[in-house]
Homo-oligomer: A and B are copies of this chain.
Amino acid sequence: MKPIWPFFEDLTVSTVETFGGYEVTREEIVTFAAHYDPQPFHLSDEGAVDTPFRSLAASGWHSCGMMMRILVDHLQSDPERQAANIGAVGIDELRWLKPVRSGDRLSCHAEIIEKRVSQSRPDMGLVRSRMTVLNQKGEAVMTMLPLVMVRTRTGC
């Protein structure tokens, strides 16, 4: 498998990868929500009945966490890629499209849409991708446009 970003110079816009298979459990939905998003619809089915969710749904921030775990597991399967991945500047256009439920199996579809060398730091490139998180039915449950920093070979 060809990695997306071992180093900035190796990146190609339009490269696409699909990866992951994260099993979502009721226990994990409730545990995350109890810590970080204790709204009734993230804590029990009963708390969701009179809401648009209808039954227990994961916090949107929990979905972000699960996406990140899927991505990190994928990146760490290649040591060189891990080393070049410095961190994220931020995220644009994060959208929660469908509820994430207990029993869902989440995967990621990532496409590089833009790359440029940093003006201020030539040892660093900026890469924008389009990330789509899909459930086991192939439905997009979340989309976002991460902007990440990637080391250049010349900066090493």
Contact residues of A with B, CB < 8 Å?
A: 32, 35-39, 41, 51-53, 59-61, 64-66, 68-69, 72, 76, 82, 85-96
Q: Are A60 and B88 in contact (CB under 8 A)?
A: yes
What chain B residues lie within 8 Å of A82 (beta carbons)? 39
Min CB distance A108 to B, Å, is: 14
Q: Are B96 and A52 in contact (CB under 8 A)?
A: no
A68 partner, pick from B37, B51, B96, beta carbons under 8 A: B37
Q: Are A91 and B94 in contact (CB under 8 A)?
A: yes
CA distance A75 to B112 in the complex (A): 38
CA distance A52 to B155 in the complex (A): 14
Given contacts A36-B69, A38-B72, A65-B35, contact A52 B86 (CB under 8 A): yes
A95 partner, pick from B65, B69, B89, beta carbons under 8 A: B89
CA distance A95 to B36 in the complex (A): 19
CA distance A41 to B41 in the complex (A): 33
Q: Are A69 and B35 in contact (CB under 8 A)?
A: yes
What chain B residues lie within 8 Å of A38 (beta carbons)? 69, 72, 76
14 further A-B contacts with Cβ under 8 Å, apart from A39-B72, A90-B96, are A32-B65, A36-B68, A37-B72, A38-B69, A38-B72, A51-B87, A52-B87, A59-B68, A61-B64, A87-B96, A89-B96, A91-B94, A92-B92, A92-B93
CA distance A32 to B69 in the complex (A): 11
